[in-house]
């Protein structure tokens, strides 16, 4: 009973293509990966200073990670379209785990310790594909009508991890500045073990793999399993992600400076501010997003979230009063909650089983580019206008820039609506049937084919048929046991239909 309740909680009653435990594993993997990063992230500058280096050298640690995660990690996600989701997720966890362990032991290297540290950060960025691959996995196994809700669950992981991670990291740093980094690596490697044991490959990828094999052997069309090109809409949404990344990284890099220089806040107060923002994001994801999605749709909700971010950034820029600034920070956090929930959910509409890794990988490239451009632009603006003077032409100048890019980004999802693939014609409606020469076979919409296909696949899997690896034999078996019905007249058709139906019921009773 407890197991069934847990499965209902995860799947919401949807007919997914993998056991519920696999989806739980994906959620836990993404949570642990994000939590581990938020445990070690805040400690890194202090850990780096223990090597006796200056502020400029500390910047290398962030620059090399941003570079490698932008250039290499999205390629890993893309490769998942060729070798599978599971191998890429395992490789990402293993690579990131070893890279973090290497960062943690750099203090034992006497002369070149800091340079090894920089290399380890670069190496870590190469494997930063866990989040994108988890999104691909969920998109593969969850029906289209439930996909948005599942991807929203994944997006909820980020604020939860950010809420707990820094505090855990601060506590662990009391045992040594490298301890949070070592814990980061250890829990990532532990995730690798659990994913290896409990996470199967997605049936969608296995079907694509089989289709490619059939095409190579001449058993199917030469184009079977061929990767579908990334549509223009993905690049437009990717540019919107770039703008969002600029705004997000601007806030992360300059908000603390503004609060410190203008309102004389301490690091502890700023930390509590960030924690409160995470709570607002969680509340938004759980209670607000489902409601506005029903009203505005995914594209409209995404645009609305970007608009809220722009309003919040403007308010922070022009405020100059502590409590007003905090109110607008909350507005930005609501926008963040909507955007994190809707971005991948909307992007999934433009994917195909053959290109999902490439699509989510491309989106990650755009987002990472925005995260690289944001701090560079915002810190130069803060330096030029001065960070100690309130107002849009002072400490708030970088937030005016963030508001501008968010406003532009809000328009793009609405532009992309007309590029969204059609869902197909309406589901088949009941109507009178003509027999004899006027007979017409029923043809359903895409939803009909997908729904019946999932149902049949689920029944075959439940009854232990190897329906993926032995697909040809299963298809031949189904073709053999399902008789053709005569359509000469209604009485004959109904008689044969009831004969087939009752014969199947008796067979099931006898097998039971």
Q: What is the DSSP string of 375-427?
A: HHHHHHHHHHH-SSS-STTTTTHHHHHHHHHHHHHHHHHHHHGGGSPP--SPP
> What is the C-alpha R_g of the chain?
26
Tokens 């409209």, located at residue: 300
Contacts of 416 (CB under 8 A, 6+ apart): 233, 236, 237, 299
pTM, entire model = 0.76
Distance CA 389, CA 62 (A): 28
Q: How many residues would you count in the chain?
A: 512
Distance CA 273, CA 259 (A): 10
pLDDT value of residue 55: 62
pLDDT at 4 over 50: no
Closest CA to 339 of 159, 470, 167, 476: 159
How would you class 303 by CB atoms within 10 Å of its CB: exposed for 0-12, middle for 13-18, buried for 19 or more?
Answer: buried
pLDDT value of residue 477: 78
For the segment 231-236, the average pLDDT, to the nearest whole number, is 92
* 466 or 449, greater pLDDT: 466
pLDDT value of residue 92: 95
Closest CA to 214 of 467, 480, 474, 469: 469
Distance CA 280, CA 331 (A): 9
154-to-162, 208, 440 alpha-carbon distances in Å: 14, 25, 44
**Least confidently predicted of 108-122, 377-391, 427-441, 485-499:** 427-441
For the segment 356-378, the average pLDDT, to the nearest whole number, is 86
Tokens 């500390």, located at residue: 58
Sign of CA dihedral 135, 140, 141, 142: positive
Distance CA 348, CA 154 (A): 13
Closest CA to 421 of 361, 351, 365: 351
**Least confidently predicted of 158-162, 317-321, 347-351, 429-433:** 429-433
Q: How confident is the model at residue 58 (pLDDT cuts 50, 70, 90)?
A: confident
Domains in the chain, ordered, with CATH?
18-207 (1.20.1250.20), 230-422 (1.20.1250.20)
**3-class state of residue 110 by DSSP:** coil
Distance CA 107, CA 126 (A): 22
For the segment 435-440, the average pLDDT, to the nearest whole number, is 71
Q: How confident is the model at residue 421 (pLDDT cuts 50, 70, 90)?
A: low
- Angle, to 10 degrees, between the axis of helix 55-71 and the axis of helix 113-126? 30
Q: How confident is the model at residue 432 (pLDDT cuts 50, 70, 90)?
A: low
Distance CA 183, CA 246 (A): 30
Long-range pairs for 379-383 at CB < 8 Å and ≥24 separation?
A: 379/253, 379/254, 382/254, 382/257, 382/258
319-to-24, 73, 265, 325 alpha-carbon distances in Å: 43, 39, 16, 6
Contacts of 430 (CB under 8 A, 6+ apart): none
Closest CA to 306 of 240, 372, 227: 240
**3-class state of residue 327 by DSSP:** helix
Asked if 141 contacts 17 with a C-beta cutoff of 8 angstroms, the reply is yes
pLDDT at 511 over 90: no
pLDDT value of residue 428: 45
pLDDT at 220 over 60: no
Burial 254-285 (b: 16+ CB within 10 A, else e): bbbbbbbbbbebeeeebbebbeebbebbbebb
Closest CA to 183 of 114, 104, 108, 99: 104
Q: How confident is the model at residue 426 (pLDDT cuts 50, 70, 90)?
A: very low
Closest CA to 247 of 362, 166, 335: 335
User: H-type helices in 127-231, by residue range?
Assistant: 130-141, 144-172, 179-198, 203-216
164-209 confidence digits (pLDDT tens): 887 788 788 888 888 988 998 999 999 999 999 999 999 889 888 8
Distance CA 1, CA 413 (A): 43
Percentage of residues in the chain having pLDDT higher than 70: 85
User: H-type helices in 41-84, by residue range?
Assistant: 44-49, 55-71, 73-83
Asked if 38 contacts 180 with a C-beta cutoff of 8 angstroms, the reply is no
Asked if 265 contacts 388 with a C-beta cutoff of 8 angstroms, the reply is no
Please state the separation of Cα 359 from the chain's center in Å.
Answer: 11
Q: Which helix (H) or strand (E) holds 25?
A: helix 20-40
């Amino acid at each position: 009973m407890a197991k069934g309740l847990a499965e209902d909680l995860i799947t919401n009653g949807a007919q997914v293509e993998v056991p519920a435990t696999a989806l739980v594993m994906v959620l836990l993997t993404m949570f642990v990966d994000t939590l581990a990063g938020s445990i070690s992230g805040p400690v890194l500058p202090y850990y780096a200073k223990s090597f006796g280096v200056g502020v400029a050298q500390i910047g290398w640690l962030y620059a090399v990670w941003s570079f490698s995660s932008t250039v290499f990690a999205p390629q890993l996600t893309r490769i998942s379209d060729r070798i599978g989701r599971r191998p890429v997720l395992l490789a990402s966890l293993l690579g990131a785990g070893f890279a973090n362990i290497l960062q943690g032991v750099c203090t034992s290297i006497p002369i070149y310790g800091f340079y090894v540290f920089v290399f380890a950060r670069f190496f870590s960025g190469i494997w930063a594909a866990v989040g994108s691959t988890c999104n691909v996995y969920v998109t593969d196994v969850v029906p289209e009508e439930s996909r948005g809700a599942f991807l929203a669950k994944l997006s909820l992981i980020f604020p939860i991890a950010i809420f707990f991670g820094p505090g855990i990291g601060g506590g662990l740093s009391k045992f040594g500045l490298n301890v949070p980094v070592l814990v980061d690596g250890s829990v990532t490697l532990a995730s690798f073990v659990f994913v290896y044991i409990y996470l199967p490959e997605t049936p969608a990828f296995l079907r694509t793999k089989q289709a490619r094999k059939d095409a190579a052997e001449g058993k199917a069309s030469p184009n079977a399993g061929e990767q579908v090109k990334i549509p223009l809409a993905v690049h437009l949404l990717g540019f919107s992600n770039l703008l969002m990344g600029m705004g997000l990284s601007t806030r992360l890099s300059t908000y603390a400076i503004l609060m410190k220089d203008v309102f004389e806040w301490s690091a502890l107060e700023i930390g509590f501010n960030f924690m409160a923002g995470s709570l607002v994001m969680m509340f938004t994801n759980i209670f607000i997003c489902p409601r506005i999605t029903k009203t505005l749709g995914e594209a409209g909700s995404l645009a609305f979230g970007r608009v809220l971010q722009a309003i919040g950034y403007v308010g922070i820029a022009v405020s100059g009063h502590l409590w007003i600034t905090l109110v607008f920070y909350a507005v930005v956090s609501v926008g963040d909650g909507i955007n994190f929930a809707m971005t991948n959910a909307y992007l999934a509409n433009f994917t195909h089983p053959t290109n999902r890794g490439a699509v989510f990988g491309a989106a990650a490239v755009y987002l990472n580019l925005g995260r690289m451009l944001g701090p560079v632009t915002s810190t130069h603006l803060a330096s030029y206008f001065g960070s100690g003077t309130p107002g849009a032409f002072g400490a708030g100048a970088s937030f005016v820039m963030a508001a501008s890019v968010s406003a532009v980004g809000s328009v793009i999802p609405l532009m992309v609506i007309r590029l969204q693939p059609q869902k197909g014609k309406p589901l088949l409606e009941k109507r009178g049937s003509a027999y004899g020469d006027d007979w017409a076979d029923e043809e359903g919409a895409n939803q009909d084919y997908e729904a019946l296909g999932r149902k049949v696949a689920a029944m075959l899997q439940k009854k232990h048929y190897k329906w993926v690896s032995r697909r040809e034999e299963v298809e031949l078996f189904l073709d053999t046991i399902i008789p053709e019905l005569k359509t000469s007249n209604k009485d004959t058709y109904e008689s044969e239909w009831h004969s087939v139906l009752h014969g199947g019921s008796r067979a099931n009773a006898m097998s039971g």
